[in-house]
Amino acid sequence: MTQEARPVFPFTAIVGQEEMKLALILNVIDPKIGGVMIMGDRGTGKSTTVRALVDLLPEIDVVASDPFNSDPKDPELMSEEISEKLRKNETLEIAKKKIPMIDLPLGATEDRVCGTIDIEKALTEGVKAFEPGLLASANRGILYVDEVNLLDDHLVDVLLDSAASGWNTVEREGISISHPARFILVGSGNPEEGELRPQLLDRFGMHAQIGTVKEPHLRVQIVEQRAEFDESPNDFRSNYEEMQRQLTIKIIEARESLKNTEIDYEDRIKISEICSELNVDGLRGDIVTNRAAKALAAFEKRTKVTPQDIFRVISLCLRHRLRKDPLESIDSGDKVREVFLKYFETN
């Protein structure tokens, strides 16, 4: 486990908040789940948990020295420059790189997020001089937005565009540059500080709700752990080194076995029936629930999804997609679970 300049609190040391931890792990196993929105009270460890994920992220193959983390095999995940090299049968130098986690600050400018084109260089030298932004760095990685419900509307629009197409396009003075921008969008926020725009909320594959830990003995444990970590971060981290390593291996194995994990046709029908009864708009809820259930089965080293797997993930995948009164809060999951039991009661 790498020791960083600013040591990160170990993921395996975090007490409670199982729903949030599960949602984050499943998104690392299958990035196509579409990210996770974490809503909860202030001081419940939302950003600590997300940043703790950094230690667990596996390595991926990238084209060396490419600012977009281009995949050497998948055309959808490589920049136009790398695609051009492949067409010319040029040899690509491949390197291993840890899945990146990029923070998107609330005060970031659009240029910082999307990247900028150097017009002067483009005009004088005739080259597309592009300075990549945060979306370029986040390609094939995680883009984390803390207090996402406070994000400026113009940045929300940028995220919506990239999340919808998987590409970021920068245009200026008749010059246009595009690059892949497929990332796991992770957001956290406090519901008291305002709701998220419905279009952005729908883009999150999963929605985790967390509350303040109530049990006194767990609260004491959390306080003690935090004090130990603040006093000697590296010593504290070393106590969890083996647990971190085991969890990382489990995630890597799950990513590899995911393609062999199956979900019965009858169960897929039931998932769609549940979505239909709950009046979930669109088909994203069906797709995400199927993906999350398969990722959970793979994580637990099984090749077949069980109804219990679906039960554990379905409220995470659907609660924020239910049609609701604008003044009503997001369903805690009870309504989703109630309808689930109606269709899976025989299992």
DSSP 256: H
Q: Hey, which residues are catalytic here?
A: 284
- Tokens read off for 135: 């979306």
Phi–psi pair at 183, nearest 5 degrees: -140, 160
176 forms beta bridges with 171
Those residues whose C-beta lies under 8 Å from the C-beta of residue 196, and which sit 6 or more positions away, are: 37, 148, 149, 187, 189
- CB atoms near residue 263 (< 10 Å): 19
Can you say how many angstroms the Cα of residue 180 is from the centroid of all Cα atoms in its chain?
Answer: 16
Measured between alpha carbons, how far is 279 from 284 in angstroms, rounded to an integer? 12
- CB atoms near residue 278 (< 10 Å): 20
Q: 143: helix, coil or strand? A: strand
Q: Which residue reads 């390609």 in tokens?
A: 139
